[in-house]
Chains A and B, each alone.
Chain A
Protein backbone atom coordinates (compact mmCIF):
# COMPACT_ATOMS: atom_id res chain seq x y z
CA UNK A 1 0.00 0.00 0.00
CA UNK A 2 1.24 3.48 -0.75
CA UNK A 3 1.68 5.40 2.55
CA UNK A 4 0.93 8.68 0.77
CA UNK A 5 -2.73 7.69 0.72
CA UNK A 6 -2.79 8.31 4.47
CA UNK A 7 -2.41 11.22 6.80
CA UNK A 8 0.56 10.24 8.97
CA UNK A 9 -0.31 10.90 12.63
CA UNK A 10 2.93 9.42 13.97
CA UNK A 11 5.58 6.89 12.91
CA UNK A 12 3.13 4.13 13.74
CA UNK A 13 -0.33 5.64 13.16
CA UNK A 14 -1.90 6.34 9.76
CA UNK A 15 -5.32 7.79 9.21
CA UNK A 16 -7.86 8.42 6.47
CA UNK A 17 -10.72 10.80 7.10
CA UNK A 18 -14.19 9.62 6.07
CA UNK A 19 -15.04 9.83 2.37
CA UNK A 20 -17.86 8.32 0.33
CA UNK A 21 -20.04 6.08 2.48
CA UNK A 22 -17.59 6.02 5.42
CA UNK A 23 -19.18 7.09 8.72
CA UNK A 24 -15.92 7.21 10.69
CA UNK A 25 -12.19 7.46 9.85
CA UNK A 26 -9.97 4.46 9.12
CA UNK A 27 -6.85 4.13 11.27
CA UNK A 28 -3.93 1.73 10.79
CA UNK A 29 -1.26 1.16 13.44
CA UNK A 30 1.93 0.09 11.66
CA UNK A 31 5.33 1.41 10.67
CA UNK A 32 5.96 2.60 7.13
CA UNK A 33 7.60 -0.65 6.02
CA UNK A 34 4.60 -2.69 7.21
CA UNK A 35 2.20 -0.28 5.47
CA UNK A 36 4.14 -0.69 2.22
CA UNK A 37 3.91 -4.50 2.54
CA UNK A 38 0.15 -4.43 3.10
CA UNK A 39 -2.18 -5.31 0.25
CA UNK A 40 -4.36 -2.45 -1.09
CA UNK A 41 -7.30 -4.66 -0.13
CA UNK A 42 -6.67 -3.85 3.55
CA UNK A 43 -7.59 -0.23 2.98
CA UNK A 44 -10.53 -1.13 0.77
CA UNK A 45 -11.87 -3.50 3.42
CA UNK A 46 -11.25 -1.02 6.22
CA UNK A 47 -13.15 1.74 4.42
CA UNK A 48 -16.03 -0.71 3.87
CA UNK A 49 -16.10 -1.51 7.60
CA UNK A 50 -16.10 2.23 8.36
CA UNK A 51 -19.36 2.49 6.38
CA UNK A 52 -21.29 -0.05 8.48
CA UNK A 53 -24.25 1.23 10.54
CA UNK A 54 -23.61 2.22 14.16
CA UNK A 55 -19.80 2.04 13.97
CA UNK A 56 -18.13 4.09 16.71
CA UNK A 57 -14.93 6.17 16.63
CA UNK A 58 -13.00 4.52 13.77
CA UNK A 59 -12.35 1.32 11.85
CA UNK A 60 -8.96 0.12 13.06
CA UNK A 61 -6.29 -2.16 11.62
CA UNK A 62 -3.44 -3.71 13.58
CA UNK A 63 0.20 -3.91 12.40
CA UNK A 64 -0.31 -7.46 11.10
CA UNK A 65 -3.36 -6.55 9.01
CA UNK A 66 -3.88 -8.40 5.76
CA UNK A 67 -6.55 -9.11 3.19
CA UNK A 68 -9.37 -11.00 4.89
CA UNK A 69 -13.05 -11.61 4.25
CA UNK A 70 -15.08 -8.42 4.44
CA UNK A 71 -13.09 -7.22 7.44
CA UNK A 72 -9.33 -7.22 7.11
CA UNK A 73 -7.59 -9.81 9.29
CA UNK A 74 -6.20 -7.64 12.05
CA UNK A 75 -9.34 -5.49 12.04
CA UNK A 76 -11.11 -3.95 15.04
CA UNK A 77 -14.51 -2.24 14.95
CA UNK A 78 -17.00 -1.36 17.69
CA UNK A 79 -20.74 -0.83 17.30
CA UNK A 80 -23.38 0.77 19.49
CA UNK A 81 -26.67 -1.17 19.58
CA UNK A 82 -28.57 1.98 20.54
CA UNK A 83 -27.39 3.74 17.39
CA UNK A 84 -28.47 1.00 15.00
CA UNK A 85 -25.16 -0.81 15.36
CA UNK A 86 -24.61 -4.20 13.77
CA UNK A 87 -23.01 -7.49 14.62
CA UNK A 88 -21.15 -9.10 11.73
CA UNK A 89 -20.50 -12.82 11.25
CA UNK A 90 -17.81 -11.80 8.76
CA UNK A 91 -16.33 -9.45 11.36
CA UNK A 92 -15.69 -12.41 13.65
CA UNK A 93 -14.73 -14.89 10.96
CA UNK A 94 -15.06 -18.64 10.50
CA UNK A 95 -12.70 -19.67 13.27
CA UNK A 96 -14.68 -18.17 16.13
CA UNK A 97 -12.60 -17.59 19.27
CA UNK A 98 -9.41 -18.86 17.72
CA UNK A 99 -6.80 -17.94 20.27
CA UNK A 100 -3.63 -18.70 22.16
CA UNK A 101 -2.94 -19.98 25.64
CA UNK A 102 0.46 -20.23 27.24
CA UNK A 103 1.45 -22.40 30.21
CA UNK A 104 4.40 -22.07 32.52
CA UNK A 105 6.37 -25.30 33.16
CA UNK A 106 9.05 -24.13 35.61
CA UNK A 107 11.54 -26.25 33.63
CA UNK A 108 14.72 -24.94 32.09
CA UNK A 109 15.38 -25.60 28.43
CA UNK A 110 18.43 -27.57 29.56
CA UNK A 111 16.14 -29.86 31.63
CA UNK A 112 14.18 -30.97 28.61
CA UNK A 113 17.03 -30.97 26.07
CA UNK A 114 17.84 -34.68 26.53
CA UNK A 115 14.12 -35.50 26.27
CA UNK A 116 13.27 -33.24 23.35
CA UNK A 117 12.78 -36.03 20.80
CA UNK A 118 10.61 -37.95 23.22
CA UNK A 119 8.57 -34.88 24.01
CA UNK A 120 8.03 -34.27 20.30
CA UNK A 121 6.99 -37.87 19.65
CA UNK A 122 4.80 -38.21 22.75
CA UNK A 123 3.04 -34.89 22.24
CA UNK A 124 2.43 -35.75 18.59
CA UNK A 125 0.99 -39.11 19.64
CA UNK A 126 -1.22 -37.65 22.38
CA UNK A 127 -2.54 -34.51 20.66
CA UNK A 128 -4.92 -35.28 17.77
CA UNK A 129 -3.80 -33.01 14.92
CA UNK A 130 -4.53 -32.62 11.25
CA UNK A 131 -7.33 -33.36 8.81
CA UNK A 132 -9.66 -36.17 9.85
CA UNK A 133 -8.31 -36.51 13.40
CA UNK A 134 -10.76 -37.09 16.23
CA UNK A 135 -10.64 -36.53 19.97
CA UNK A 136 -11.22 -39.08 22.71
CA UNK A 137 -14.52 -37.52 23.77
CA UNK A 138 -17.86 -38.23 22.10
CA UNK A 139 -20.46 -35.68 23.11
CA UNK A 140 -24.10 -36.72 23.31
CA UNK A 141 -26.65 -33.93 22.81
CA UNK A 142 -26.88 -33.14 26.52
CA UNK A 143 -23.13 -32.97 26.96
CA UNK A 144 -22.77 -30.91 23.78
CA UNK A 145 -25.13 -28.26 25.16
CA UNK A 146 -23.44 -28.38 28.58
CA UNK A 147 -20.07 -27.80 26.87
CA UNK A 148 -21.46 -24.93 24.79
CA UNK A 149 -22.81 -23.29 27.96
CA UNK A 150 -19.88 -24.03 30.24
CA UNK A 151 -16.70 -23.59 28.14
CA UNK A 152 -13.48 -24.37 29.98
CA UNK A 153 -15.49 -24.64 33.22
CA UNK A 154 -17.33 -27.62 31.70
CA UNK A 155 -13.96 -29.23 30.91
CA UNK A 156 -12.61 -28.60 34.42
CA UNK A 157 -15.78 -30.07 35.97
CA UNK A 158 -15.04 -33.26 34.02
CA UNK A 159 -11.48 -33.53 35.24
CA UNK A 160 -9.63 -31.66 32.49
CA UNK A 161 -7.46 -29.26 34.44
CA UNK A 162 -8.05 -27.39 37.66
CA UNK A 163 -10.22 -24.55 38.92
CA UNK A 164 -7.05 -22.42 39.15
CA UNK A 165 -6.86 -22.52 35.34
CA UNK A 166 -10.20 -20.73 35.01
CA UNK A 167 -9.01 -17.49 36.57
CA UNK A 168 -6.39 -17.17 33.83
CA UNK A 169 -8.84 -17.50 30.94
CA UNK A 170 -10.81 -14.63 29.42
CA UNK A 171 -14.33 -14.53 30.89
CA UNK A 172 -13.00 -16.83 33.65
CA UNK A 173 -13.31 -19.70 31.23
CA UNK A 174 -17.04 -19.37 30.56
CA UNK A 175 -18.60 -16.92 28.11
CA UNK A 176 -21.93 -15.67 29.43
CA UNK A 177 -24.92 -15.41 27.10
CA UNK A 178 -24.19 -18.57 25.12
CA UNK A 179 -27.30 -20.12 23.62
CA UNK A 180 -26.75 -23.72 22.50
CA UNK A 181 -30.29 -23.66 21.08
CA UNK A 182 -29.10 -21.20 18.42
CA UNK A 183 -26.39 -23.62 17.27
CA UNK A 184 -27.60 -25.78 14.38
CA UNK A 185 -27.61 -29.57 14.41
CA UNK A 186 -25.07 -29.47 11.55
CA UNK A 187 -22.65 -27.43 13.64
CA UNK A 188 -23.07 -29.83 16.55
CA UNK A 189 -22.63 -32.80 14.19
CA UNK A 190 -19.34 -31.32 13.02
CA UNK A 191 -18.15 -31.05 16.62
CA UNK A 192 -19.30 -34.43 18.00
CA UNK A 193 -15.80 -35.93 18.02
CA UNK A 194 -13.65 -32.83 17.61
CA UNK A 195 -13.26 -31.65 21.22
CA UNK A 196 -9.60 -31.96 22.14
CA UNK A 197 -8.29 -31.70 18.58
CA UNK A 198 -5.79 -29.16 17.32
CA UNK A 199 -7.03 -28.69 13.75
CA UNK A 200 -4.66 -27.78 10.93
CA UNK A 201 -3.29 -24.79 9.00
CA UNK A 202 -1.54 -22.34 11.30
CA UNK A 203 -2.71 -24.08 14.49
CA UNK A 204 -0.07 -25.63 16.72
CA UNK A 205 1.07 -26.77 20.12
CA UNK A 206 4.62 -25.68 20.88
CA UNK A 207 7.24 -26.05 23.57
CA UNK A 208 8.98 -22.70 23.62
CA UNK A 209 11.98 -21.23 25.41
CA UNK A 210 11.90 -17.75 26.90
CA UNK A 211 14.86 -16.12 25.11
CA UNK A 212 14.46 -12.46 25.96
CA UNK A 213 12.80 -10.40 28.70
CA UNK A 214 11.89 -6.76 28.02
CA UNK A 215 9.88 -5.91 31.13
CA UNK A 216 11.20 -7.49 34.33
CA UNK A 217 8.25 -6.64 36.55
CA UNK A 218 5.58 -7.92 34.16
CA UNK A 219 7.68 -10.99 33.28
CA UNK A 220 8.04 -11.87 36.94
CA UNK A 221 4.29 -11.55 37.48
CA UNK A 222 3.62 -13.70 34.37
CA UNK A 223 6.23 -16.16 35.78
CA UNK A 224 8.41 -15.82 32.68
CA UNK A 225 12.11 -16.38 33.28
CA UNK A 226 14.84 -16.39 30.68
CA UNK A 227 15.85 -19.91 29.66
CA UNK A 228 12.65 -21.48 30.94
CA UNK A 229 10.18 -23.52 28.93
CA UNK A 230 6.53 -22.66 28.28
CA UNK A 231 3.84 -24.51 26.35
CA UNK A 232 1.69 -22.55 23.89
CA UNK A 233 -1.46 -23.76 22.18
CA UNK A 234 -2.99 -21.98 19.17
CA UNK A 235 -6.38 -23.20 17.96
CA UNK A 236 -10.07 -22.34 17.96
CA UNK A 237 -13.63 -23.61 18.01
CA UNK A 238 -13.03 -26.31 15.41
CA UNK A 239 -15.80 -27.46 13.09
CA UNK A 240 -18.58 -26.03 15.26
CA UNK A 241 -17.32 -22.48 14.94
CA UNK A 242 -16.69 -22.86 11.21
CA UNK A 243 -20.22 -24.11 10.64
CA UNK A 244 -21.79 -21.29 12.72
CA UNK A 245 -19.76 -18.76 10.74
CA UNK A 246 -20.87 -20.32 7.45
CA UNK A 247 -24.55 -20.47 8.34
CA UNK A 248 -24.93 -17.01 9.84
CA UNK A 249 -22.91 -15.38 7.08
CA UNK A 250 -25.44 -16.79 4.61
CA UNK A 251 -28.44 -15.75 6.69
CA UNK A 252 -27.06 -12.24 7.15
CA UNK A 253 -26.34 -11.85 3.42
CA UNK A 254 -29.91 -12.79 2.55
CA UNK A 255 -31.50 -10.73 5.36
CA UNK A 256 -29.42 -7.56 4.78
CA UNK A 257 -31.83 -5.81 2.34
CA UNK A 258 -34.72 -6.47 4.75
CA UNK A 259 -32.70 -4.77 7.48
CA UNK A 260 -32.03 -1.83 5.16
CA UNK A 261 -28.33 -2.68 5.01
CA UNK A 262 -26.40 -2.22 1.76
CA UNK A 263 -23.39 -4.54 1.65
CA UNK A 264 -20.53 -3.33 -0.57
CA UNK A 265 -19.05 -6.81 -0.08
CA UNK A 266 -21.13 -9.87 0.86
CA UNK A 267 -18.47 -10.94 3.36
CA UNK A 268 -19.41 -7.90 5.45
CA UNK A 269 -22.70 -9.67 6.16
CA UNK A 270 -24.18 -8.27 9.33
CA UNK A 271 -27.47 -7.75 11.15
CA UNK A 272 -28.63 -5.09 13.59
CA UNK A 273 -27.62 -6.07 17.14
CA UNK A 274 -31.21 -5.35 18.13
CA UNK A 275 -32.74 -7.84 15.69
CA UNK A 276 -33.79 -11.48 16.02
CA UNK A 277 -30.98 -12.56 13.69
CA UNK A 278 -28.37 -10.41 15.43
CA UNK A 279 -29.30 -11.83 18.82
CA UNK A 280 -29.40 -15.40 17.47
CA UNK A 281 -25.89 -14.96 16.08
CA UNK A 282 -24.59 -13.54 19.36
CA UNK A 283 -26.03 -16.54 21.25
CA UNK A 284 -24.47 -19.02 18.81
CA UNK A 285 -21.16 -17.15 18.57
CA UNK A 286 -20.84 -17.10 22.37
CA UNK A 287 -21.50 -20.86 22.42
CA UNK A 288 -18.65 -21.21 19.90
CA UNK A 289 -16.41 -19.14 22.20
CA UNK A 290 -17.14 -21.70 24.93
CA UNK A 291 -16.34 -24.49 22.49
CA UNK A 292 -12.93 -22.95 21.80
CA UNK A 293 -12.24 -22.47 25.53
CA UNK A 294 -13.27 -26.08 26.26
CA UNK A 295 -11.11 -27.31 23.39
CA UNK A 296 -7.98 -25.51 24.56
CA UNK A 297 -8.68 -26.76 28.10
CA UNK A 298 -8.84 -30.41 26.97
CA UNK A 299 -5.69 -29.96 24.84
CA UNK A 300 -3.97 -28.57 27.94
CA UNK A 301 -4.91 -31.72 29.81
CA UNK A 302 -3.41 -33.86 27.03
CA UNK A 303 -0.16 -31.89 27.18
CA UNK A 304 -0.10 -32.27 30.98
CA UNK A 305 -0.44 -36.04 30.59
CA UNK A 306 2.74 -36.12 28.49
CA UNK A 307 4.66 -34.00 31.00
CA UNK A 308 3.43 -36.19 33.89
CA UNK A 309 4.83 -39.22 32.05
CA UNK A 310 8.16 -37.84 30.95
CA UNK A 311 8.98 -35.47 33.81
CA UNK A 312 6.75 -36.41 36.75
CA UNK A 313 6.13 -33.60 39.22
CA UNK A 314 6.10 -30.88 36.54
CA UNK A 315 3.22 -28.43 36.99
CA UNK A 316 1.87 -26.67 33.92
CA UNK A 317 0.30 -23.47 35.26
CA UNK A 318 -1.77 -21.38 32.90
CA UNK A 319 -0.33 -17.90 32.31
CA UNK A 320 -3.26 -16.75 30.20
CA UNK A 321 -5.72 -17.71 27.47
CA UNK A 322 -6.89 -15.05 25.03
CA UNK A 323 -8.90 -15.24 21.82
CA UNK A 324 -8.39 -13.16 18.68
CA UNK A 325 -11.61 -13.78 16.66
CA UNK A 326 -14.54 -12.53 18.72
CA UNK A 327 -17.28 -9.97 19.20
CA UNK A 328 -17.69 -8.90 22.83
CA UNK A 329 -19.88 -6.43 24.65
CA UNK A 330 -17.50 -4.19 26.61
CA UNK A 331 -17.66 -0.82 28.34
CA UNK A 332 -15.41 1.77 26.67
CA UNK A 333 -15.03 5.50 27.13
CA UNK A 334 -15.57 7.41 23.89
CA UNK A 335 -15.34 11.21 23.92
CA UNK A 336 -15.50 11.17 27.71
CA UNK A 337 -18.68 9.12 27.78
CA UNK A 338 -18.85 5.51 28.96
CA UNK A 339 -20.63 3.34 26.42
CA UNK A 340 -21.31 -0.36 26.08
CA UNK A 341 -20.02 -1.41 22.67
CA UNK A 342 -19.93 -4.61 20.63
CA UNK A 343 -16.24 -4.82 19.82
CA UNK A 344 -15.33 -7.04 16.85
CA UNK A 345 -11.77 -8.28 16.88
CA UNK A 346 -10.94 -10.27 13.77
CA UNK A 347 -7.35 -11.41 14.03
CA UNK A 348 -6.79 -8.94 16.84
CA UNK A 349 -6.10 -9.63 20.50
CA UNK A 350 -7.91 -7.97 23.38
CA UNK A 351 -5.32 -6.03 25.40
CA UNK A 352 -6.85 -4.61 28.59
CA UNK A 353 -4.57 -2.24 30.44
CA UNK A 354 -3.68 -2.13 34.15
CA UNK A 355 -6.62 -1.76 36.52
CA UNK A 356 -9.20 -3.31 34.24
CA UNK A 357 -11.83 -5.10 36.35
CA UNK A 358 -11.95 -8.08 33.95
CA UNK A 359 -8.37 -9.02 34.82
CA UNK A 360 -7.56 -11.59 37.52
CA UNK A 361 -6.68 -9.84 40.80
CA UNK A 362 -3.02 -10.90 40.74
CA UNK A 363 -2.46 -9.39 37.27
CA UNK A 364 -4.62 -6.31 37.63
CA UNK A 365 -1.80 -3.83 38.30
CA UNK A 366 0.26 -5.19 35.37
CA UNK A 367 -2.25 -5.42 32.54
CA UNK A 368 -3.55 -8.33 30.53
CA UNK A 369 -1.10 -10.80 29.00
CA UNK A 370 -1.29 -10.45 25.21
CA UNK A 371 -0.16 -13.66 23.50
CA UNK A 372 1.22 -13.28 19.98
CA UNK A 373 1.78 -16.51 18.08
CA UNK A 374 4.56 -16.63 15.56
CA UNK A 375 4.75 -18.90 12.55
CA UNK A 376 6.35 -22.32 12.82
CA UNK A 377 10.03 -21.93 13.50
CA UNK A 378 10.04 -18.22 14.26
CA UNK A 379 9.48 -16.33 17.48
CA UNK A 380 6.35 -15.78 19.53
CA UNK A 381 5.88 -12.88 21.94
CA UNK A 382 4.12 -12.11 25.17
CA UNK A 383 3.05 -8.51 25.65
CA UNK A 384 0.97 -6.73 28.28
CA UNK A 385 -1.94 -4.34 27.90
CA UNK A 386 -1.17 -0.68 28.51
CA UNK A 387 -2.90 2.33 30.01
CA UNK A 388 -2.64 4.25 26.73
CA UNK A 389 -3.97 1.26 24.78
CA UNK A 390 -7.33 1.77 26.53
CA UNK A 391 -7.82 4.82 24.31
CA UNK A 392 -6.53 3.13 21.14
CA UNK A 393 -8.50 0.64 19.10
CA UNK A 394 -10.65 -0.28 22.12
CA UNK A 395 -7.77 -2.02 23.92
CA UNK A 396 -6.65 -4.23 21.06
CA UNK A 397 -3.32 -5.39 19.71
CA UNK A 398 -1.97 -7.55 16.89
CA UNK A 399 -2.39 -11.35 16.91
CA UNK A 400 0.48 -12.79 14.93
CA UNK A 401 2.69 -12.38 11.94
CA UNK A 402 0.14 -12.60 9.14
CA UNK A 403 0.91 -14.32 5.86
CA UNK A 404 3.24 -12.64 3.42
CA UNK A 405 2.71 -15.14 0.61
CA UNK A 406 0.00 -17.55 -0.49
CA UNK A 407 0.05 -21.28 0.25
CA UNK A 408 0.70 -21.87 -3.45
CA UNK A 409 3.80 -19.71 -3.50
CA UNK A 410 4.98 -21.39 -0.31
CA UNK A 411 4.73 -24.92 -1.75
CA UNK A 412 6.65 -23.78 -4.84
CA UNK A 413 9.42 -22.37 -2.68
CA UNK A 414 9.76 -24.98 0.07
CA UNK A 415 9.53 -28.75 0.48
CA UNK A 416 8.16 -30.17 3.70
CA UNK A 417 10.91 -32.72 4.36
CA UNK A 418 13.75 -30.28 3.68
CA UNK A 419 12.07 -27.70 5.90
CA UNK A 420 11.65 -30.18 8.78
CA UNK A 421 15.34 -31.13 8.46
CA UNK A 422 16.49 -27.53 8.28
CA UNK A 423 14.49 -26.54 11.36
CA UNK A 424 15.77 -29.65 13.20
CA UNK A 425 19.32 -28.46 12.52
CA UNK A 426 18.34 -25.24 14.27
CA UNK A 427 17.08 -27.24 17.25
CA UNK A 428 13.38 -26.92 16.35
CA UNK A 429 11.58 -30.28 16.13
CA UNK A 430 8.49 -30.32 13.90
CA UNK A 431 5.90 -33.09 14.03
CA UNK A 432 3.04 -33.01 11.55
CA UNK A 433 0.89 -35.58 9.74
CA UNK A 434 1.37 -33.65 6.46
CA UNK A 435 4.61 -32.57 4.82
CA UNK A 436 2.69 -30.47 2.31
CA UNK A 437 1.01 -28.75 5.26
CA UNK A 438 4.45 -28.02 6.69
CA UNK A 439 5.61 -26.48 3.39
CA UNK A 440 2.50 -24.29 3.21
CA UNK A 441 3.23 -23.06 6.73
CA UNK A 442 6.91 -22.34 6.08
CA UNK A 443 8.23 -19.60 8.38
CA UNK A 444 9.30 -17.60 5.32
CA UNK A 445 5.69 -17.48 4.09
CA UNK A 446 4.85 -15.19 7.01
CA UNK A 447 5.69 -11.59 7.74
CA UNK A 448 8.36 -10.82 10.29
CA UNK A 449 6.51 -11.20 13.60
CA UNK A 450 9.18 -9.13 15.37
CA UNK A 451 8.44 -6.11 13.15
CA UNK A 452 4.72 -6.50 13.85
CA UNK A 453 5.27 -6.70 17.61
CA UNK A 454 7.68 -3.75 17.55
CA UNK A 455 5.05 -1.63 15.81
CA UNK A 456 2.36 -2.65 18.33
CA UNK A 457 4.76 -1.78 21.15
CA UNK A 458 5.70 1.59 19.68
CA UNK A 459 2.07 2.43 18.99
CA UNK A 460 1.31 1.76 22.66
CA UNK A 461 -1.27 -0.92 21.85
CA UNK A 462 0.60 -3.28 24.19
CA UNK A 463 4.11 -3.40 25.64
CA UNK A 464 6.70 -6.10 25.04
CA UNK A 465 7.31 -8.46 27.97
CA UNK A 466 9.10 -11.52 26.56
CA UNK A 467 10.22 -13.25 23.40
CA UNK A 468 9.80 -17.00 22.94
CA UNK A 469 11.62 -19.37 20.59
CA UNK A 470 10.13 -22.71 19.55
CA UNK A 471 11.79 -25.97 20.63
CA UNK A 472 9.11 -28.45 19.58
CA UNK A 473 6.16 -27.73 17.28
CA UNK A 474 3.18 -30.05 16.78
CA UNK A 475 1.36 -28.94 13.61
CA UNK A 476 -1.99 -30.05 12.32
Chain B
Protein backbone atom coordinates (compact mmCIF):
# COMPACT_ATOMS: atom_id res chain seq x y z
CA UNK B 1 0.00 0.00 0.00
CA UNK B 2 1.39 3.40 -0.90
CA UNK B 3 0.44 6.99 -0.13
CA UNK B 4 0.09 8.48 3.27
CA UNK B 5 -2.42 7.43 5.86
CA UNK B 6 -2.90 6.85 9.57
CA UNK B 7 -4.56 4.11 11.54
CA UNK B 8 -5.10 2.96 15.11
CA UNK B 9 -4.07 -0.41 16.43
CA UNK B 10 -5.43 -1.98 19.60
CA UNK B 11 -3.82 -2.00 23.02
CA UNK B 12 -5.76 -3.48 25.93
CA UNK B 13 -6.22 -0.32 28.01
CA UNK B 14 -5.17 2.34 25.56
CA UNK B 15 -4.65 2.92 21.85
CA UNK B 16 -1.87 2.58 19.30
CA UNK B 17 -1.25 5.31 16.72
CA UNK B 18 0.42 4.54 13.39
CA UNK B 19 1.40 6.91 10.61
CA UNK B 20 2.53 5.76 7.16
CA UNK B 21 3.96 7.83 4.33
CA UNK B 22 6.65 8.18 1.66
CA UNK B 23 9.05 9.98 4.04
CA UNK B 24 9.87 10.13 7.74
CA UNK B 25 8.20 13.54 7.82
CA UNK B 26 5.01 12.11 6.30
CA UNK B 27 4.96 9.20 8.73
CA UNK B 28 5.43 11.57 11.70
CA UNK B 29 2.69 13.85 10.36
CA UNK B 30 0.27 10.93 9.93
CA UNK B 31 1.10 9.59 13.41
CA UNK B 32 0.18 13.01 14.82
CA UNK B 33 -3.12 12.91 12.93
CA UNK B 34 -3.76 9.43 14.31
CA UNK B 35 -3.22 10.89 17.77
CA UNK B 36 -5.73 13.68 17.19
CA UNK B 37 -8.14 10.99 16.01
CA UNK B 38 -7.88 9.31 19.43
CA UNK B 39 -9.54 12.46 20.79
CA UNK B 40 -11.81 13.56 17.93
CA UNK B 41 -12.36 13.37 14.17
CA UNK B 42 -9.43 15.39 12.73
CA UNK B 43 -11.71 16.67 9.96
CA UNK B 44 -13.63 18.63 12.61
CA UNK B 45 -10.51 20.50 13.76
CA UNK B 46 -9.84 23.79 11.95
CA UNK B 47 -6.14 24.42 11.26
CA UNK B 48 -6.52 28.05 12.33
CA UNK B 49 -3.66 28.79 14.72
CA UNK B 50 0.01 27.81 14.32
CA UNK B 51 2.16 26.55 17.19
CA UNK B 52 5.92 26.04 16.76
CA UNK B 53 7.38 22.78 18.00
CA UNK B 54 11.04 21.78 18.18
CA UNK B 55 12.64 18.66 19.51
CA UNK B 56 15.78 16.60 19.27
CA UNK B 57 16.50 13.03 20.32
CA UNK B 58 19.26 10.41 20.13
CA UNK B 59 17.35 8.22 17.63
CA UNK B 60 14.28 8.14 15.37
CA UNK B 61 12.13 6.24 17.83
CA UNK B 62 12.79 8.57 20.75
CA UNK B 63 12.23 11.47 18.36
CA UNK B 64 8.76 10.17 17.47
CA UNK B 65 7.85 9.91 21.16
CA UNK B 66 9.31 13.39 21.80
CA UNK B 67 7.32 14.82 18.88
CA UNK B 68 4.05 13.31 20.05
CA UNK B 69 4.73 14.32 23.66
CA UNK B 70 5.52 17.90 22.59
CA UNK B 71 2.12 17.96 20.85
CA UNK B 72 0.43 16.49 23.92
CA UNK B 73 1.98 19.24 26.07
CA UNK B 74 0.68 21.94 23.72
CA UNK B 75 -2.74 20.29 23.49
CA UNK B 76 -2.98 20.19 27.28
CA UNK B 77 -1.47 23.56 28.17
CA UNK B 78 -3.27 25.50 25.40
CA UNK B 79 -6.45 23.37 25.44
CA UNK B 80 -6.07 22.91 21.69
CA UNK B 81 -6.48 20.20 19.07
CA UNK B 82 -4.31 20.02 15.93
CA UNK B 83 -5.16 18.86 12.42
CA UNK B 84 -2.35 20.00 10.13
CA UNK B 85 1.39 19.64 10.54
CA UNK B 86 4.35 21.04 8.61
CA UNK B 87 7.40 19.05 9.62
CA UNK B 88 11.07 19.41 8.76
CA UNK B 89 13.50 16.74 9.89
CA UNK B 90 17.26 17.13 9.84
CA UNK B 91 18.82 13.98 11.24
CA UNK B 92 17.31 13.64 14.68
CA UNK B 93 16.23 17.26 14.90
CA UNK B 94 12.60 18.14 14.28
CA UNK B 95 11.15 21.55 13.46
CA UNK B 96 7.43 21.74 13.00
CA UNK B 97 4.41 23.97 12.92
CA UNK B 98 1.23 22.38 14.24
CA UNK B 99 -2.01 24.05 13.16
CA UNK B 100 -5.16 23.77 15.18
CA UNK B 101 -7.81 25.48 17.27
CA UNK B 102 -9.06 25.56 20.88
CA UNK B 103 -11.12 22.57 22.03
CA UNK B 104 -14.85 23.11 21.51
CA UNK B 105 -16.58 20.36 23.52
CA UNK B 106 -19.85 20.70 21.57
CA UNK B 107 -18.31 20.51 18.12
CA UNK B 108 -15.35 18.20 18.80
CA UNK B 109 -17.02 15.83 21.28
CA UNK B 110 -13.53 14.98 22.58
CA UNK B 111 -13.57 11.36 23.70
CA UNK B 112 -10.56 11.28 25.97
CA UNK B 113 -7.51 13.24 27.06
CA UNK B 114 -4.10 11.83 26.12
CA UNK B 115 -1.69 11.57 29.04
CA UNK B 116 1.47 10.68 27.15
CA UNK B 117 3.07 8.88 24.22
CA UNK B 118 4.79 5.69 25.36
CA UNK B 119 7.64 3.40 24.29
CA UNK B 120 5.23 0.50 23.95
CA UNK B 121 5.00 -0.95 20.40
CA UNK B 122 7.30 1.91 19.42
CA UNK B 123 8.95 1.72 16.02
CA UNK B 124 10.04 3.93 13.16
CA UNK B 125 10.95 1.94 10.07
CA UNK B 126 11.15 1.94 6.30
CA UNK B 127 9.88 -1.04 4.28
CA UNK B 128 11.08 -2.56 0.96
CA UNK B 129 8.88 -0.20 -1.05
CA UNK B 130 10.43 2.78 0.75
CA UNK B 131 7.32 3.52 2.80
CA UNK B 132 8.01 4.90 6.27
CA UNK B 133 5.97 3.77 9.24
CA UNK B 134 5.98 5.46 12.68
CA UNK B 135 3.99 4.07 15.57
CA UNK B 136 3.58 3.78 19.35
CA UNK B 137 0.88 3.36 22.00
CA UNK B 138 -0.51 6.49 23.67
CA UNK B 139 -1.72 6.41 27.27
CA UNK B 140 -5.23 7.78 27.72
B112: which A residues are within 8 A, CB to CB? 131, 200-201, 407, 434, 437, 440, 476
Q: How far is the CB of A39 from chain B (nearest CB, A)?
A: 6
Interface residues of B toward A: which range? 35 or more
In the complex, are the beta carbons of A250 and B103 less than 8 A apart?
Answer: no
In the complex, are the beta carbons of A408 and B110 less than 8 A apart?
Answer: no
Interface residues of A toward B: which range? 35 or more
A353 within 8 A of B: no
Interface segment out of the listed A47-55, A163-171, A238-246 = A238-246
A3 within 8 A of B: no
Given contacts A69-B118, A190-B73, A131 and B110 within 8 Å (CB-CB): yes
A333 within 8 A of B: no
Partner of B62, one of A194, A201, A250, A402: A250
A73: which B residues are within 8 A, CB to CB? 13
A448 to B73, CA, bound (A): 34
B93: which A residues are within 8 A, CB to CB? none
Partner of A94, one of B15, B77, B111, B115: B115
A243: which B residues are within 8 A, CB to CB? 73, 76, 116
In the complex, are the beta carbons of A242 and B76 less than 8 A apart?
Answer: yes
**Number of residue pairs spanning A and B whose beta carbons lie under 8 angstroms apart:** 128
Q: How far is the CB of B76 from chain A (nearest CB, A)?
A: 5
Given contacts A406-B12, A407-B140, A69 and B120 within 8 Å (CB-CB): yes
In the complex, are the beta carbons of A131 and B119 less than 8 A apart?
Answer: no
Given contacts A242-B115, A246-B116, A406 and B65 within 8 Å (CB-CB): no
Interface residues of B in 13-39 (CB under 8 A from A): 13-15, 39
B105 within 8 A of A: yes
Given contacts A130-B110, A434-B109, A95 and B115 within 8 Å (CB-CB): yes
In the complex, are the beta carbons of B109 and A403 less than 8 A apart?
Answer: no
In the complex, are the beta carbons of A69 and B139 less than 8 A apart?
Answer: yes
B3 within 8 A of A: no
In the complex, are the beta carbons of B109 and A201 less than 8 A apart?
Answer: no
B58 within 8 A of A: yes
CB-based nearest B residue for A239: B76
A282 to B112, CA, bound (A): 28
A133 to B76, CA, bound (A): 10
A274 within 8 A of B: no
Partner of A67, one of B13, B72, B139: B13
In the complex, are the beta carbons of B73 and A186 less than 8 A apart?
Answer: yes
Given contacts A242-B76, A409-B10, A266 and B111 within 8 Å (CB-CB): no
Partner of B119, one of A192, A249, A402, A440: A249
Interface residues of B in 81-133 (CB under 8 A from A): 102-103, 105, 108-113, 115-120, 122
Given contacts A200-B113, A243-B73, A408-B15, A267 and B120 within 8 Å (CB-CB): yes
Q: Please name 7 further chain A to chain B contacts, defined as beta carbons within 8 Å, in addition to the given A73-B13, A190-B77, A408-B10, sorted by A numbering.
A: A93-B139, A131-B108, A132-B110, A190-B76, A200-B112, A201-B112, A250-B62
Interface residues of B (CB under 8 A from A): 8, 10-15, 39, 58, 62, 65-66, 69, 72-73, 76-77, 79, 102-103, 105, 108-113, 115-120, 122, 137, 139-140
